[in-house]
Amino acid sequence: MLELIQPFGLLIALAFTMFLVVLRFQAALFGVAEYADVGPAGHPTRLRRRLSWYLVGFLIVLLIVEADPTVGLDLFVGLGDRASAIALGIAFGVAGTALAIGAAWLRYRHLRLPPVSSYPVALLNALGTAFIDEVTFRGAVLGFLVLIGLSGWVAIVIQTLIYGLATRLGAPGRDRSIFVLALLLGLATGWATIVTGGIGAAFIGHTISRFAMFLTTGHSGQPLPQGREVEEIERRHRPPDGWSIVGAVRDTIGRER
């Protein structure tokens, strides 16, 4: 009887995993993940709508766990070795922060620190997105790929490509550097998941890196197209160094008279 329960439970878990992947594809509609800056209409999405995305994802995760009592071992949906998870997670977080600073400097030549009032919602977005992403891709998807007999690195690469498609960061007009960072994140956290036996390290590193990206660029992971940022527009209208605006000079002379 138990031999029949586990394959059946895994099939149910696979179905719910597909729901999680589809939910990740719909992140833009809910204004979460990389799309938490503004919604489809150009203004911030209501917090209730965002929370519904996290809640649905969390409920699906619970259903996956209930579908297979041993899912923590079979699909990496667990913390794994705690000591290794914490150490690797912090290391990935530091590396991700360094990459976020580098990406901000290459794009803007400075850090675009957002207002402090936006930190709580951004932190919620980082935590919720990292949880859904890691359970979905580094947990369930990677676990199923390993279960069907694929080698570790083949499974890691495949789940990374699926992750890249789900985030749509490689779509036309998107920032290529963010897409590359997302792929590197998928590879690194996939490796950490297999090494530690769970998604603890991936979750910690992903959360820190995503929040660091927000702190350094002012965006949740989806910068505006090149030339659309406020400072970039202002820079285009600024006169070259050493030049002065004739109208402004005349107005100044007129006021002095």
- State yes or no: pLDDT of 144 exceeds 80: yes
Per-residue confidence (pLDDT) for residue 253, from 0 to 100: 45
d(CA 6, CA 36): 38
Which of 145-153's residues contact partners 24+ apart within 8 Å by CB, and which partners? 146/194, 147/10, 147/74, 147/75, 152/191, 152/194
- Angle of helix 82-108 relative to helix 200-217, nearest 10 degrees, comes to 20
- State yes or no: pLDDT of 198 exceeds 50: yes
Cβ pair 129, 58 in contact under 8 A: no
Phi, psi of 22 (to 5 degrees): -65, -40
Tokens representing residue 29 in the block: 């509609």
Per-residue confidence (pLDDT) for residue 109, from 0 to 100: 82
Per-residue confidence (pLDDT) for residue 252, from 0 to 100: 45
Overall pTM > 0.85? no
- State yes or no: pLDDT of 7 exceeds 80: no
Residue indicated by tokens 């659309």: 228
Q: How confident is the model at residue 65 (pLDDT cuts 50, 70, 90)?
A: confident
Which one is predicted more confidently, 232 or 127?
127
